[in-house]
Structure 1
């Protein structure tokens, strides 16, 4: 993902739908969005057109009903958002981010095991 492309909150909602579905029409995305918030169809359409112009989405325009899919991966979007949060909110401190995250949100036993395994691999890369 290009570092100059930063999806807005509304764009991330659409991306999340497309990451789950793989591809969808504006109508399908709009129906998913309206399950959690009020939104007009034309607003969804315009936002997806803007996202296409920003190279966040691609579309198949060869048929009457355009089908859209994400051009950015969830992982790349998460990395960009996390880098921004670490650098702006936590002044570059990854440790402060992790401490805050674990202090504010209870991690499950499985999540804690995954974190421990990751830290072990990080500390002992030759294992």
Structure 2
């Protein structure tokens, strides 16, 4: 399995913006994040710098002060890695224990239960 850098929850919020925009300047990222987070621009810039240092984000110089940032890590691959990591850490790798925990802890609608049944049936027939 591909290795990924450890990404904090705050850094993940920056990654989500970059995955959505594909590439952006720090100003664009700051504008988008300050609409949903109570973060100072300097905090967002620090998170961007950390992601660059970790090899999760690429920074290309546009001018003497401006950079354009783009994700190096693929969103789908990272989500699969993070899901597996969570499963291993919290449920000792047991998918059935995790599903049981979520199902018992949530009120599922009839539609959600039917979707889950179909998903499981489709996986069995693959």
Which residue of the partner structure matches residue 119 of structure 1? Answer: 120
Q: Which runs of 5+ in 2 are unaligned?
A: none
Task: Please give the TM-score of this superposition, normalised by the length of structure 1.
Answer: 0.81
Q: Is the 8 A contact 2:62 2:68 kept in 1?
A: no
- Cα distance change on mapping 1:123 and 1:6 into 2, 3 Å: same
- Cα distance change on mapping 1:32 and 1:106 into 2, 3 Å: farther
- Cα shift at 1:104: 3.2
Task: Please give the TM-score of this superposition, normalised by the length of structure 2.
Answer: 0.82
How many pairs are equivalent? 124
Q: Is the 8 A contact 1:56 1:70 kept in 2?
A: yes
Which residue of the partner structure matches residue 32 of structure 1? Answer: 32
Q: 66-75 or 34-43: which moved more?
A: 34-43
- Cα shift at 1:2: 4.1
Q: Which runs of 5+ in 1 are unaligned?
A: none
Aligned-residue Cα RMSD (Å) equals 2.2
Which residue of the partner structure matches residue 88 of structure 2? Answer: 87
Which residue of the partner structure matches residue 78 of structure 1? Answer: 79
